Structure 1
Amino acid sequence: MMLRLMKYLFATAAFLVFSSAAFSQKVKFEVGAPAVVAVGEPFRIEFSLNAKPDGFTPPSFTGFDVLAGPTASEGTSVSIVNGNVTKTVSFTYTYVLSATAAGKGTVSAAGVEVDGKTYATRPMTIEAIAEAAAPEAGAGGDTAGRRQGDGTASAAPGTRLGADDLLVRVSVSRHEAYKGQPVRATFKLYTRVALSGIESPRYPAFNGFWVHELDVSGYDWQRETLDGKVYDARVIKEVLLYPQQSGRLLIEQTSMTAIAQLVVQNPGRSQSLFDDFFGGGQTVQQVRRNISAPPVSITVKDFPAGAPASFNGAVGKFRLDAVLGEQTVAANASDAYVLKLSGSGNLPLIQAPKLEMPASFEQYNMKTTESLAYDASGISGYRQFEYPFIPRAEGSYTIAPVEFSYFDPEAARYVTLATAPAGMEVRPDSTAGRNTPSGLVSGVSKEDIKILDRDIRFIRIGDPGLVRKGNFLFGSLPYFLALALMLGGFAAGYVYLKKHLREMRNVTLVRNKKANKVALQRLRAAGDYMNAGDERRFYEEMLRALWGYMSDKLNIPVSNLTKDNIREELQRRSVSPERVERFIGIITECEYAQYSPSSSGQMNEIYGAAARALSRFESEIKK
C-alpha cells in the first residue's frame, strides 16, 4: 500500500514538473527558407513552432507554385540535468515551392493560435534567379537545410562538373584604408555540386599586414547568387588585416583542391530497368579540381601631416581614464597611477602613454592588462597600464596630465585626449624623526642630504703618492707580437667577409644553406603542436616544413612547386626513387590527415619519417 502511494505521488510530481516546464516556455513561431533560389528549382519553406497549436492559418505565396504541403510534423523531448527538467515541443509545417519567374516573390505571414493567443511569422521576400543554363539533375538540387555535420555540402551528386560549378572568391570590407585601419578579408567557397571537402589550401602570406584570424565555425552554408547563378556558399576563412605600411599592398592568390561527388555509369555493363530502379548501374565518384581566387589589392593611405607629439600610431576611437591609487601617502610608501585606454581600433599595437612624475618619485616597471574582443568589425575592449611608484620626500605634488592622441579614420583627423592633473600629498615617513642627525639645517630635508651625498664627491688634495711599477709595453717584443696577431686577424677577417658577401649575393646558395635550418625550426613548432594534441596546426606546420625545404633546396618558388617537379628534380640529383616516393607519400599523408581524424601515434610516425627524410636529403642533395 505504501509503495503504491509513493508511485502516485511521484507520478503527480512528475506531471506538475513537466506541465510547469511546458507552460513556462516562451512561444516562438518562426519561418525558414532560402533567400535566393533558381527559377524552376524546388525548395522548402518551414514554419516552426515550439508549442502545441490550436489552429494554423496558412500563408499566401506570390510568384511561387506550391508543389506540396503543408506537411505537419511533431516532436517532443524531455531532458533532466542536475534536477532541472526541460520539456521541448516542436511543430513544423513544411511546403515545397517552385519559382515561376525571375524576380522577387513574397510569402505572407502565417499564423497559429496557442492557448487563446495568436502568433504570426514575419513576411519574407525570396529572390528567384533565371540562370543561363539549368544545372544537371541533382547538380544543384534542394540543398537548403541538408548539410553534413562536418560542414560539407550534401546535395545529391551531379552527373558532370561544369567549369564554374566550383569557385573560391576573396572579398574585402574596403579597398582603401589608412595605416592601422582594419580590413576584413573573407574567403568564401561556392559550389553547385555535392562537395565532400577541400585539400591543400594555400592562403596568402599577408605581407605588410598585422593579421588576426577570426573564428568561422559559426558560419553555415547559405544560398547566394554569383555572376547570375545560384550557389551554395560558405565562409572557409576570415581574417582581420591591419596595414602596417602605406602604398599598394597585395593579398596574394588563394588556391586549393576541391573534391566534388559525381554520378558515373559503371563501365562495361548495360543499363537495364532493374539497374535504373536500384541504382546498380551507377556509382558516385570523387573528382578533384584545382580552384583559385585572383589577388586582391588594397591601397593604404599614410597618416596626414600635423600629427600631435603624443601620437604613436593608434587608429580607431578611444577613451582615456586615469585613477590615482592613494591621494595621501607616507614617504617611502608605494602607490600606483593607472591609465585605462578603451574603445575600438588597433589596441594590441598601441604603446603605453608616457607618464611624467616628480623627480623625487621612484618609478618601477609598468604592468599591462587587457581585455579584447575580436569580431568582423575589428577589435574592441581595453588596455590598462599601471605605473607603480614610491614617493621619497614629503610635500605636495601634482602629477602632470597625460596626453594620448589617435587618428580617427572615419573623420580623417587626429584626436587628442588628456587626463586631469592629479594632486597628491606625501606625509613624512613615520621613521624619519628617529634617524634625524643633530645640527640639520632648517629647511633641508633628510632626502636632500642623501641626494647631495650621492651627487658630490670631494677632490683629494696633497701628494697622491703614485709609484711607477713595471716597464712600458710600447716598443717591446710582446707589443710587436700582439700587433702582428692583430694584423693577421684583420687580414683573415677581410678574406672571410669578402667570401661571405660573395656568397650572400648568390640567393640560390643562401636559400640552399638555410633550407635545413628553417625546416628544423618548423619541425620543432610542429612537435609542440603534436604534444599539445592540436592536429590541424600540426599538419599545417608539417606541410610548411616539407614544401618550404624543397622550395629552398631546389630553388623553386613555393607557388610553382608540385609533387611532379619535386620528383623530377630529386631524380635529376641522383636521389633514389624509393626515398623520393617516400617523401611524396609523407606530403600526401599530411594533406589527407588535415581533413580526417587521426591518432597521436600517426602524428608521431609522420613526424619521425619527415625528420629522417630531411636528414638524408641534406647529405644527398648537393648545391
Structure 2
Amino acid sequence: MKKIIYIFLFLFPVLIFSQDFNISSYVNKNELFENEYIKFTIESNQNLELRSLRFSDFNIVQGPFTSESHQSTYINGKISSKDEYKSTFTLSPKKTGTLSIPPIDVTYNNKKYSTNLINIKVKEGRQNSNVNPNIQRNNKPSQQNRTINNRNKNLFAKISASKSKPYLGESLLLSYKIYQSIYNSSSIQITDYDLPMISDFWTEIIDPPNGKQWSQNREDINGVRYLVYTLKKEIVFPQKSEKIKIPAFEVTALINKNPFSFFNSREEKIIIKSNELTIDVKSLPSNAPSSFKGQVGKNYKLSVNLSKDEMFVNDALDFDLSISGNGNLKELKLPNIDIPKDIEKYPAETKNKLKITTSGISGSKSLHHLLIPRFHGEYEIPAIEFTYFDIIKKKYITLSEESRIIKVNKNGDLNTNSENNNYQTIPDKEDVELINQNIRHIKENSTMYENKKPLFGSFKYWLIITIIPILLLLILLIINNKDRFKNQERIASKKIKKEVLSKFKNAENHLNTGNTNAFYNELYNGWLIYISDKLKINKANLNKENILKSLEKKKFSNELIANLTNILNECEMAQYSPIDKQDAKKTLSFSRDVITKFENHG
C-alpha cells in the first residue's frame, strides 16, 4: 500500500507539469468614464513572475494581487489536474479616447507566448452613480423586481447565431445564453425563462452531452471575461428568403448580492431581457437543375450498389442507394428509381443514420430494394442524379451514377415449378414449335373491318345491361358508408394520440430510472406532436404565438390554455434548472389530464 502511495506522489507532480502552457488576459469592462478604474487580470496555468509591468495609456493604482487554485480529478483510472494563477491590477486611464492595453509577452520552456491586445474606450465626464441606464425599475411600488436589458455589461442575456446571412435552407446554430462578468461576485439562480418558438424555420433542438444540462463555461468578449450559462442550443433551417426576426426572451432570476455573508445576504428578484436577432436569408441562385429538390449543405455523397450484374430468371438482386452529407437530411427525398417493368420490385426498406450536433445534421439516408427478374434478357437500370447547393463552393453540385446493365440468363429447365419457385418461366415466341398447323403465332399486322351489326342483342348490349345495376349497387354502398370515409381523419388523429401516449410512456420510463432531463425532452416532443395534429399547425410554424392564437380561435377555455402553457414552460425550464422527481411525476399526471380535456373539447 505504501508503495502505491509513493508511486502516486511521484507521478502527481509529473502529471501537473505535463499540461500545456496557456496564458490570457482580460478586464472587467471595456468602456468607462475618465474618473473610473478598471481591473486587469493576467491568468495562466503556471506560476509566473510579472515584473516591471508598464502601460503607456494607464497608471497602475494597485497591484498585482495574486491568487492561485488547484484542482485534481480521478475519473476512470485517469488523473487530470487544473491549475490557475491570477495577477490582478487596478488601472486608471491617463486620457480619454480609445486606449489600449498591449499584449503581455512571456517565455516558458524557451517558447514565447502572448496575450491579446485589449482596447478600452474612455469617455469624458464622470459617471452618475445614482442612475444606471441599464436597469429599468418596475413602477409598481409593491414589487421589487427590476428588468435588466442587454445593454448591461455585467449581466445580460443574448441570442446568437453562427451566421447572420445564411442561404435559404442552410443550417445555422442558435444559442440562448446568460452572461455574467467574472468580476461580479453575486450568485445567480435562474427560476424561470420563456424562450421563443420561432416561425419560418425548421428547428432541431440539440440535446446536452450525456443527457445532462449544458455545462457552465467562460467566454471573452472584447477583452471582458464572462461566466456563460447556456439555456438552449438548436439547429435551424430558414424556410423563406427574407429578413426573419427572432424575438427576445426573458429570464427570471434571483441574485444574492452578498453570497459570502450568511447574516447580511440580500436576495433580489430580477428579469433579464435578451436582444432581438434578425437573420437575413439569401435566395438560392435561379439556375437550379431539375434534379435539385431543396437540399442545401456540404460534403454530400451519392452511392449506388447492385449485388450482381449477371443472374438467372427468378434470382434475387439487391439494389442499394445511399446519400450522405451535412444539411437538412431529415427533409431529404431520395431519387425515384425507374426499374424496368419486367423486374418485380419489392417495397423499399429505408434507413436513417443521423446525428444532430452544433455543426448541423450529418449522416446518411439509404434505401434497399429487393429485385427479381421474371424474364430473361438484358435490362437497364437508368442513371441516377442528385443535386444539392454547396454552401462552401456557393453553387449547385450534381452527383450522378451511370446506368447499369443487368444480364438475366434463362433457367436450365423452362418448366421448373418447384416448391421454392412459384413462377413458371414463359417461353418466347421463337421457342414455340409449329405443330400440324394447330398452333400459330399471333399475327402482328391485322386488317380491321367495320362492324355494321346492331347493338341490340349483341354482347355489348348485355354487358351494359349487367354493368348498370352493379354501378347502382356501388353508389348505394358509398352512400351507406359515407360516415366511414369521413372518419378517416378521426382514425389518423387516434394514431397520433397513440403515438403521444407512447411518448408519455417512454417519459415515465426515463423518470423511473432517474433521468429527468430525458423525461422532460420526451414529454415536450410528445406535446409538440399532439399540438401540431390537434391545431393543424405545421412544425415549422409551431411557436407559442401561433399556438395561443389557434387555441383562442377554436374557443378553448382560458384555464386549459394556461395549463398547456405551464406544461410547455416547465419542459423548457427543465433543460437548465433541475426539477424534483416528485414534481416531474405530477407534471406527467397533469399532462395526461390535460390531453383528456383537449379530447373532450372536440
If the TM-score is normalised by the length of the shorter chain, which range does it land in? 0.5 to 0.7
Deviation of 1:285 after TM superposition, in Å, equals 1.3
For residue 97 of structure 1, the aligned residue among 89, 94, 100 is 89
**2:171/2:297 contact within 8 Å kept:** no
| Partner deviation per Cα, 1:458-477 (whole Å, 9 max, x = no partner) | xxxxx999xx9xxx9x99xx
Distance 1:369 1:544 in 2: 23
Distance 2:158 2:425 in 1: 84
| Partner deviation per Cα, 1:26-85 (whole Å, 9 max, x = no partner) | 452111443774463324322214xxx9x968695646648445858585858595xx6x
Q: 1:107 to 1:248 in 2, by over 3 A?
A: closer
Deviation of 1:96 after TM superposition, in Å, equals 1.1
Partner of 2:400: 418
Distance 1:121 1:535 in 2: 45
Q: 1:279 to 1:422 in 2, by over 3 A?
A: closer
Deviation of 1:389 after TM superposition, in Å, equals 1.5
Higher RCO, Cα 8 Å, sep 6+: 2
3-state secondary structure, aligned to 1:348 = helix
Deviation of 1:351 after TM superposition, in Å, equals 0.7
| Partner deviation per Cα, 1:530-556 (whole Å, 9 max, x = no partner) | 44225457668689989x9xxx9xxxx
1:210 partnered with 2:192 = no
Deviation of 1:135 after TM superposition, in Å, equals 10
More off after superposition, 71-80 vs 319-328: 71-80
Partner of 1:108: 104
Q: Which amino acid aligns with 2:250?
A: M
**2:147/2:272 contact within 8 Å kept:** no
For the aligned residue pairs, the C-alpha RMSD in angstroms reads 6.0
Q: Which amino acid aligns with 2:237?
A: Y
Deviation of 1:326 after TM superposition, in Å, equals 2.0
1:336 partnered with 2:318 = yes
Q: 1:37 to 1:544 in 2, by over 3 A?
A: farther
Partner of 1:604: 585
Deviation of 1:352 after TM superposition, in Å, equals 0.8
3-state secondary structure, aligned to 1:34 = strand
Q: Which amino acid aligns with 2:507?
A: Y
Deviation of 1:261 after TM superposition, in Å, equals 1.5
For residue 29 of structure 1, the aligned residue among 21, 24, 34 is 21
For residue 41 of structure 1, the aligned residue among 34, 38, 42 is 38
3-state secondary structure, aligned to 1:22 = helix
3-state secondary structure, aligned to 2:22 = strand
Q: Which runs of 5+ in 1 are unaligned?
A: 1-6, 140-158, 265-276, 446-451, 454-462, 498-517
Distance 1:583 1:324 in 2: 51
Q: 1:135 to 1:444 in 2, by over 3 A?
A: farther
Partner of 2:190: 198
**2:297/2:389 contact within 8 Å kept:** yes
Partner of 2:507: 529
**2:414/2:427 contact within 8 Å kept:** no
Q: Which amino acid aligns with 1:324?
A: L
Partner of 2:141: none
3-state secondary structure, aligned to 1:110 = strand
| Partner deviation per Cα, 1:338-381 (whole Å, 9 max, x = no partner) | 33323332222111112233333222222333444444453333
Partner of 1:185: 174
Deviation of 1:247 after TM superposition, in Å, equals 5.0
Partner of 2:289: 308
1:236 partnered with 2:231 = yes
**2:386/2:398 contact within 8 Å kept:** yes
**2:386/2:400 contact within 8 Å kept:** yes
The equivalences for 1:73-222 within 5 A come to 79=74, 92-101=84-93, 103-113=99-109, 118-130=110-122, 164-165=151-152, 166-174=155-163, 176-191=165-180, 194=186, 196-215=188-207, 217=214, 220-222=217-219
Distance 1:167 1:17 in 2: 44
Q: Which amino acid aligns with 1:258?
A: T
Distance 1:310 1:290 in 2: 48
| Partner deviation per Cα, 1:73-106 (whole Å, 9 max, x = no partner) | 585858595xx6x565666543112344453323
Partner of 1:384: 366
Deviation of 1:313 after TM superposition, in Å, equals 1.8
Distance 1:285 1:438 in 2: 87
Matched length: 502
3-state secondary structure, aligned to 1:532 = helix
Distance 2:499 2:427 in 1: 65
| Partner deviation per Cα, 1:245-294 (whole Å, 9 max, x = no partner) | x3546445233233142549xxxxxxxxxxxx9885x4311313262544
**2:25/2:115 contact within 8 Å kept:** no
Distance 1:407 1:235 in 2: 32
Q: 1:320 to 1:251 in 2, by over 3 A?
A: same
Q: Which amino acid aligns with 1:342?
A: S
Q: Which amino acid aligns with 2:105?
A: A
For residue 254 of structure 1, the aligned residue among 220, 233, 248 is 248
For residue 221 of structure 2, the aligned residue among 217, 220, 224 is 224
**1:37/1:127 contact within 8 Å kept:** no
**2:204/2:236 contact within 8 Å kept:** yes
Distance 1:256 1:56 in 2: 45
Deviation of 1:210 after TM superposition, in Å, equals 1.1
3-state secondary structure, aligned to 2:383 = coil
Partner of 2:266: 284
Deviation of 1:211 after TM superposition, in Å, equals 0.8
Partner of 2:349: 367
Partner of 1:501: none
Partner of 2:451: none
Deviation of 1:402 after TM superposition, in Å, equals 0.9
Q: 1:21 to 1:231 in 2, by over 3 A?
A: closer
Q: Which amino acid aligns with 1:185?
A: L
Distance 2:310 2:274 in 1: 66
More off after superposition, 385-394 vs 212-221: 212-221
Percent of matched pairs sharing the same residue? 19
**1:22/1:88 contact within 8 Å kept:** no
Partner of 1:142: none
Q: Which amino acid aligns with 2:106?
A: A
3-state secondary structure, aligned to 1:121 = strand
Distance 2:427 2:563 in 1: 87
Q: Which amino acid aligns with 1:333?
A: D
Q: 1:397 to 1:375 in 2, by over 3 A?
A: same
**2:385/2:400 contact within 8 Å kept:** yes
| Partner deviation per Cα, 1:282-327 (whole Å, 9 max, x = no partner) | 43113132625446364463x5545433222222342323322223
Distance 2:565 2:360 in 1: 41
Distance 1:399 1:203 in 2: 51
| Partner deviation per Cα, 1:426-474 (whole Å, 9 max, x = no partner) | 34435647569999677449xxxxxx99xxxxxxxxx999xx9xxx9x9
**2:313/2:375 contact within 8 Å kept:** yes
Partner of 2:381: 399
Distance 1:618 1:358 in 2: 48
3-state secondary structure, aligned to 1:354 = coil
Q: 1:136 to 1:362 in 2, by over 3 A?
A: farther
**1:323/1:338 contact within 8 Å kept:** yes
Distance 1:537 1:12 in 2: 41
